[in-house]
Structure 1
Amino acid sequence: MNKRFFIFILFITPFIGQLVLLPYVNRIEPILIGLPFFHFWLVLWIVLTPLITFLIYKIEKKNGGYE
C-alpha cells in the first residue's frame, strides 16, 4: 500500500468517525463508563483524533515530509 494513501486513510478516519457514522451511533443504549453511547462515541473520537494526528506526524517526520 502506498504511504500517501495510508496517510490519507488516517487523515479521513476521524471525519468518518465523527461525521459520517454519527447518525448510526445516535442512541442511548448501551451505557458505557456511565455515558450514553452517543456521548461515549464523541469522547472516544476526541481522544483518538490527536493520537491519529500524532501518528501521521511521526510517519511524515520519518519520511522527511512531502517532496
Structure 2
Amino acid sequence: MKLGHFLSMIPFLGMLFSLPLVNRVEPFVLGLPFFMFWIVLWVILTTLIMGIVFKIDPANQEGGDTE
C-alpha cells in the first residue's frame, strides 16, 4: 500500500507548496485568473488520484475481507 500512500500525498503537497509559486492573476485560463484555475485543477486532479488509490487498495478488491 506504499504506492497508495505516496499518491495520497501528491495533492496535499501540490496545493501546499505550489500556491506561493502560482500566486498571480495573469494569465487568464478558461476565463479564470491563473491562481483560481490552479486550485480548480488540483480539485480535479485530487478526485482522479483518490479514484486511483481506491482502485489499488487491496481492501476494495473483490472478495477481500478486512475483518
CA RMSD for the aligned pairs? 2.0
Tell me the secondary structure at the aligned position of residue 24 of structure 1: coil
Q: Deviations over 1:19-48 (max 9, x none)?
A: 111100101121100011100000011111
TM-score by length of 1: 0.78
TM-score by length of 2: 0.78
1:49 aligns with 2:46: yes
Rg (Cα) greater in structure: 2
Partner of 2:6: 9
* Whole-angstrom distance in 1 between the partners of 2:17 and 2:30: 24
Percent sequence identity over matched residues? Answer: 47
Structure 2 unpaired stretches of 5+:
none
Which structure has more RCO (C-alpha within 8 Å, separation ≥ 6)?
2
Structure 1 unpaired stretches of 5+:
none
How many equivalent pairs are there? 63
Structure with more helix by fraction: 1
Partner of 1:26: 23
* Whole-angstrom distance in 2 between the partners of 1:58 and 1:7: 10
